[in-house]
Structure 1
Amino acid sequence: MNIPEVAPLLNKMAQDIQDKIISRLAEQPAMIGIHTGGAWLAEYLHKALDLQQPLGLMDISFYRDDFQGKGLHPQVKPSNLPFHVEDQHIILVDDVIMSGRTIRAALNELFDYGRPAAVSLVTLVDLPRRELPFQPDVVGISMDLAPEQRIKLGGPEPLTLTLLEPKA
């Protein structure tokens, strides 16, 4: 499988965000990146779009419903939302959407800060294996992988995509 370069995907995503989201709003949105990969992407997109609100970062570890079931032991980082969420249009950025569980967790945490006017979802890679009904508004690339394959974003400099194959 040919794994694409990240930089051209990010440039396309920035243009799509401008065309599909920002151009339709009366006020500039706020952007939040989900740690870790989504935060790296959001930093790039925030700068490329020259958004005026400061960038928000969110760690959803304690909001995951599979935190203990998968034996996750993340290095928890604090969430930092340096703006009011209430009635704000939010662009939520993550690196990969697969089951939708990360997005559910992010929305749960986001609503603890207030009720946004709207949330647009942006993701670099869409792996259509949904367990929950979330669909991104802007996608860098959609990929079909075998059930045992995974894709990982490496970074922050440079941002790279790597296909993870199961160990034999």
Structure 2
Amino acid sequence: MELKALLLDEKAMERTFTRISHEIIEKNKGTEDLILIGIKRRGVPLAKRIADMIRDIEGNEITVASVDIALYRDDLTLIQSEPIVNSNEIKIDITNKKVILVDDVLYTGRTARAAIEAVIDCGRPKMIQLAVLIDRGHREIPIRADYVGKNVPTSKNEMISVKVKEIDDKDSVSIYELGI
């Protein structure tokens, strides 16, 4: 794997979260009935950061939950024979709420589809929106993000690596060329 470029450093990521936070507030005409749900793993700290920024801008606390999509994946048999079941941390009523799913990278759309199914299994939200830090294209199902930090057209032999302080001790987004 060879590093091609650093796409976002810590400051660029912070600016991106600030912009996404403002876009969420504007599109939803405020923060009423808003819930952010991070898709495990890196979507969770990203959702918390966006919620903190929205709180700083609007003065309102935003509920943050997480969702584990392991059992909702359509490629379970390709991953492992016995799935590891982790619980969703959606312990709140999402009925008639505006749910915003947050993830680090949007690629084929299968993770987002699985997260939507997991959310719907927990209740009937008013709407579901999707916020991603990076959209790299190559959709296999018709999913698009409502909020995108950065569009990065990629080839299939490239990989996007998102690092967040909460998990990786640093913030960055890089693109790598995979060895063929």
- Fold similarity call, TM over 0.5: yes
Which category of TM-score, normalised to the shorter sequence, fits these structures? 0.7 to 0.9
Task: Give aligned-pair identity as a percent.
Answer: 27
Q: Which runs of 4+ in 1 moved over 3 A?
A: 70-77
Structure 1 gap ranges (5+): none
**Equivalent residue runs for 1:17-166 within 5 Å:** 17-21=24-28, 23=29, 27-50=32-55, 51-71=60-80, 77-155=86-164, 156=166, 157-166=169-178
* Structure 1 position 102, deviation (Å): 0.3
Partner of 1:14: 21
* Structure 1 position 72, deviation (Å): 9.2
* Structure 1 position 97, deviation (Å): 0.6
> Does residue 4 of the first structure (1) align with residue 5 of the second (2)?
no
Structure 2 gap ranges (5+): none
d(CA) in 1 for partners of 2:106 and 2:178?
19
With over 3 angstroms needed to count, the CA separation of the structure-2 counterparts of 1:76 and 1:164, relative to structure 1, is farther
Higher helix share: 2
* Structure 1 position 77, deviation (Å): 4.1
Q: How many residues get paired?
A: 166
TM-score by length of 2: 0.83
With over 3 angstroms needed to count, the CA separation of the structure-2 counterparts of 1:74 and 1:150, relative to structure 1, is farther
TM-score by length of 1: 0.88
Instruction: Output the aligned Cα RMSD.
Output: 2.2
Q: Which has the larger radius of gyration?
A: 2
d(CA) in 2 for partners of 1:94 and 1:29?
17
